Structure formats: C-alpha cells, structure tokens
Amino acid sequence: QAQGCRLVCGLRCCQRVFSWIPVLIITCVVLWSYYAYVFELCLFTLTNTLEKVAYLLVFHVCFVMFSWTYWKSIFTPPASPCKKFQLSYSDKQRYEMEERPDAQKQILVEIAKKLPIFSRAQSGAIRFCDRCQVLKPDRCHHCSVCETCVLKMDHHCPWVNNCVGFANYKFFLLFLSYSMLYCVFIAATVFQYFLKFWGDLPNGPAKFHVLFLMFVALMFFVSLMFLFGYHCWLVAKNRSTLEAFSAPVFINGPDRNGFNVSTRRNLQQVFGEDRRLWFIPVFTSQGNGHYFPLKNRSSESHNSLLANEDMWEESDDGSEEGSLGESLSFCHMHIYTSMHSL
C-alpha cells in the first residue's frame, strides 16, 4: 500500500512539473521576441536614432505591462471558500452519521440557510463539494487540477498553469489585452522591414528574426483576438466560461442571466469603480467572491437573512458560534450593500 501511495505521489509530482511546459513555451517565445526586436531590429537594423528610441520606449512599456499581467495571472493563488462555508465539526458528524440521502440533503439545506447561497445543483439540491467538504458559494466550482474549490471559477488555464477565477480574472483579462497590444505593436513596426527583407536585402540573422517576428506576432494576435472577444462578451453579460456552457440554476430554475445586473455594473464587478485602476494589474474586483448580486431580487427574498441589509456591513470577526450578523460579516460581504447604494 505504501508503494502504491509513493507511485501516486510520484505521478502527481511529474504532473506538476509537466504542467509548467506551456508556461515555459510562452516564456521562451517572449524572450526570443524580446531579443529579436530589441537587438536584431532596433539596435542592429534601424539607422534613424529617433525611430530607434521611440520604438524601444514604446516596446518596453508594452513588454513590462505584458510581463506584469502574465506574472500576476500565473502566481495569484485561486481563492477558495472561507471557513463559514465549511461544515463545522458537529455538522460534519451529523452529515456523516445520516445514511438516508434525503435527510443528508435536508441537513445541507439547514446549514445553507445561514449563508448567502442562491444557486442550486441541477437536481435542486444545495451544491456541496465532497472532496473539500464545503457548501459551494454561488459561482464556485471544484477544480480537479488544483484540487480545490475555486470562487467564481472561470476555467483552468494551462497557459498560465493556474485557475482563472475571482482572484485573478481581472489580471487574466489584462494579460489578454496586453499580449494583443504587444503583438500589434510588433507587427505594426516590423511591417515595413518585413517588406524590405522579403524583397532585396541580403540573407542574414536579422532577416530571419524579422520575418519570424512578423509571422509569430500575427499568429498570436489572431488567436488571442477570438479569446479576448469571447471574454469581453462574457464580462458584459456577467457570465463565467463555465456558466456560458451550463447556466446557473436557482430556486426558480436555470437562468443564464442570473448574475447579469447591467453592463456597467457587470464591468465594475470585475474592474472596480476607479477607472484609473482598470488597466493596472492590482486587485480591484468588487466583493469577496462568495456572494454576487442577482438580477432577480425575488430569488433572494426567500432568504430571510437578506431582509436586514445592515447585517452585511459589520466587519469585525465573529466568533465561531456567533450571531447571524457576525457569521456573515466574517466574509465581509460589503458588495451587497455597496451595490444597493449605487
């Protein structure tokens, strides 16, 4: 048995190493493009000093923004549900002792009453993750690669070797935007030299690099354009990729527009209210990822918790067995009140 365990651990370790390969490929391509652009094109080929300085300056701004957003997308850990969504020791015992599935479901329903959970499984049951032993908050899904439940999970992206979700969705969108900008800038400035090299200039290393820069930049730009366009549509409609494939289910049934409040508010949920910070990879998304305002207030009204909105404002850490207000404030659910004051 110990041997089997070691084998599983070894496989998992291998998997973890291999999962970095796509990131390594992107990094190599980007480093090569840096060398080709800065050295082969700007320093070795360009003769006009003004042009050289201008190209290098703008290129480095694009390059830094691209690298920064890529870094943040890769290394921002996915956000998991907070402690309040985990089964307490006594609830867990009660749940495990119970053998009838219907009674188990009823236990979950009771616990969920204390939490701002509005979405349901296809069957209408409370969404529960057996592996993490948590009641899934709205829009939360279990990622089998990360082996954890991820708040507002969008998808697991191999190119950043990370889960794209509540914690890094803004960074991921900025990463897409800045990689497109990087490609467009390279393609636009390389174009005239591409034509020259294609025509009469002699063979040499610069020729090879410039021709390939153009091809690679265009290729990446076109593929990114589709992905970026799709995500713009998702943000405007306030859907995650997972929700676009299967609509979230509420008390009244599935509703693909369940979280779609209005285009402006949908945008603010991801990018925050301060427009100056929209294009900078710092976290400005609204809320805490456990609760999202619903389009239909009627689906909320069944939950008596929300009748008194003041409860959501308290922010001191409640004790484990604290009152309703304290238990909610544990998760700092400011978004609810802030969305109402708009």
- For residue 173, CA distances in Å to 207, 209, 231, 271, 292 come to 34, 29, 8, 10, 19
Read off the DSSP letter of residue 246.
S
Site size for Zn ion (CB under 5 A): 10
CB of 129 to Zn ion, least distance (A): 3
CB-wise, 80 or 177, nearer to Zn ion?
80
Of positions 72, 127, 139, 142, contacts Zn ion by CB under 5 A: 142
Contact 254, 127 (CB under 8 A): no
Of positions 46, 125, 146, 218, contacts Zn ion by CB under 5 A: 146
CB of 256 to Zn ion, least distance (A): 23
Contact 74, 161 (CB under 8 A): yes
Backbone angles phi, psi at 12, to 5 degrees: -65, -35
Contacts of 80 (CB under 8 A, 6+ apart): 132, 134, 148, 149, 150, 151
Of positions 143, 164, 180, 187, contacts Zn ion by CB under 5 A: 143
Contact 168, 154 (CB under 8 A): no
CB of 16 to Zn ion, least distance (A): 12
Of positions 72, 139, 156, 170, contacts Zn ion by CB under 5 A: 156
CB-wise, 115 or 163, nearer to Zn ion?
163
CB-wise, 136 or 170, nearer to Zn ion?
136
x-or-dash string of contact with Zn ion, 120-139, rule CB under 5 A: ---------x-xx-------
What angle separates helix 205-237 from helix 21-35, to the nearest 10 degrees?
A: 130
Contact 241, 234 (CB under 8 A): yes
Read off the DSSP letter of residue 309.
G
Please state, in angstroms and rounded to a whole number, the distance separating the CA atoms of residues 62 and 179: 8
Instruction: Considering only residues 70 through 129, tell me which ones interact with Zn ion, judged by CB under 5 A.
Output: 129
CB of 268 to Zn ion, least distance (A): 26
CB-wise, 61 or 146, nearer to Zn ion?
146
Catalytic site residue from 132, 140, 143, 157: 157
CB-wise, 225 or 242, nearer to Zn ion?
242
Is 232 tagged catalytic? no
Q: Give me the residues that bind Zn ion (CB under 5 A), please.
A: 129, 131-132, 142-143, 145-146, 149, 156, 163
Positions marked active-site: 157
